[in-house]
Homo-oligomer: A and B are copies of this chain.
Amino acid sequence: MFKKVLISDDLDSINHGVMTVAASLGIKEVVQVQYCDDAYLKLKKAAMDGDPFDLLITDLSFKLDHRDQTYPSGDLLIKAVREAYPNLQIAVYTVEDRLQRVRALMQDRYADAYVCKGRKGLVELSHAIRALDKQESYLSPQIAHALNDKEALEVDDYDIALLQLLARGFSQDEVSAHFKNSHISPSSLSSIEKRLNKLRIQFKANNAIHLVAMVKDLGLI
């Protein structure tokens, strides 16, 4: 079983429960932090001291407060950590259950386990830790199909950028100008209209407002 685990979640209530689970699995050393930057520093220090952590359990969304952060979100922390410490196992523990988010983290092995906070969250987290200990990955049941399904995979980065600009109040004309400036192709008004039309059909949206509202609900933007 793991010897040294770092828990990173901004909510104290969550950290509390996670620490109990880790302890009940016989993990001796459990450290908890409430900021991603603190997590990174703890990992770094432990590695330099020759006594590195072997598991990181982290949330994705962290509330912003007065403290400026290099890593304001769990996603960013994970990518930085994965690069610096490839041997560290990483488990995500979050309420976020959009397949898009799961794919973004699990497809390229940024994370090794993805556990959704829910009614059985701690039970699943316990399973996840045991799986990771056996060098297996883990996905919560409700998002276990995330990596198989092809659905909604046809929305690419360009589409996301386009939808984000619309959500920020750009007119189609302004989006076109913006894409021209940024040398993003296609950039013509006509192409933007066409792409939006494709997205509207794909999501069965009545109009642009509806479309943006839907993709916000889906967590795509």
Contacts and interface: CB of A to CB of B under 8 A. Distances in A.
Interface residues of A, number: 37
A132 interface: no
Contact of A17 (B16, B118, B121, B212): B16
A220 interface: no
Interface stretch (A79-87, A152-160, A162-170): A162-170
B16 A209 contact: no
Interface stretch (A7-15, A40-48, A102-110, A178-186): A7-15
Among A20, A118, A123, the one with the most B-chain Cβ atoms within 10 Å of its Cβ is A118
A170 B206 contact: yes
Given A171-B206, A209-B209, A12 B65 contact: no
Query: How many protomers of this protein does the assembly include?
Result: 2
Given A168-B210, A171-B206, A212-B212, A14 B12 contact: no
A191 interface: no
A119 B13 contact: no
16 contacts: A11-B14, A12-B122, A13-B14, A13-B18, A13-B117, A63-B118, A166-B209, A166-B210, A168-B210, A169-B206, A169-B209, A169-B210, A169-B213, A171-B207, A212-B212, A213-B213
Q: Which 4 A-B pairs have the closest CB atoms?
A: A169-B210, A169-B206, A13-B17, A167-B213
